[in-house]
Amino acid sequence: MSDSPLEEMEAHEHAEHAAHAAHENSPLISQVTMTIAVMAVIAAIGASLETTEGDKTIVAKNEAVLQQNRATDAWNEYEAKSVKKNLYAIAADQPGPKATAYAKVAAQNAADQKTIQVQAKGFEAARDKWSKAAEVHEKRHGRLTIASTLLHMAIAIATLAIILQKRWPWLTAIALTVAGLGIGAWAYL
């Protein structure tokens, strides 16, 4: 989800190479160095967004599971009330001094069932909401991972422009950066 220490070290090395090369006063090297600095900032922002979306995915999935557990508990309570209601209804149908009391308990269990059913359906609705949120964050995370990878590749390829003293790696890096930005923006559309 976040940059590993190795990736951070590599990005730092690329920046150091770029800074060292900038002292040579070549216009290409100066342009590439500035571009690498901008790419590094964009890559850091992208990695941060990627981590945030990954965290939001985990939170949303956990909340969906919690709501499902609450719904399951509510439905179990609903079923228990149903069994009690039926037992007391059978007892109320039998002649005896407690028949009226049993009928009242059966009616109370029926009323409790209605309340519990509303709660259970509420928990299921919350579960569905959190599940949908998790899907959205998971898609964003996947797209931001691709964007972040392209940005890191762009930084490495831009460094080749300095080493080779050629323009094409720099232009390739710019194209990769634009693609990474596009995919990063797509994550939020």
Q: What is the pLDDT of residues 91-104, one digit of tens each?
A: 999 988 999 999 99
Element (H, E) at 94: none
Q: Over pLDDT 70: what percentage of the chain?
A: 87
Does 56 map to a domain? no
Query: 88 in a domain, yes or no?
Result: yes
Give me the number of domains the chain comprises: 1
Report whether pLDDT(81) > 80: yes
Task: Express as a percent the part of the chain with pLDDT over 90.
Answer: 83
Q: Is 58 within a domain?
A: no
Average pLDDT over residues 25-45: 92
Q: How is residue 31 written in tokens?
A: 């342009």
Q: Across all residues in the chain, what is the average pLDDT? A: 91
Cα separation, 26 vs 146, whole angstroms: 33
Domain that holds residue 73: 5-51+63-186
Q: What is the pLDDT of residue 123?
A: 97
- Tokens 């006063």 map to which residue? 25
CA neighbor of 21 nearest in space, from 125, 158, 179: 158
Contact 99, 91 (CB under 8 A): yes
40 is a domain residue: yes
Q: Flag whether the pTM goes above 0.85.
A: no
Is the model's pLDDT at 2 over the cut of 60?
no
Query: Which residues 6+ apart lie within 8 Å of 28 measured at CB?
Result: 161, 165, 167, 170
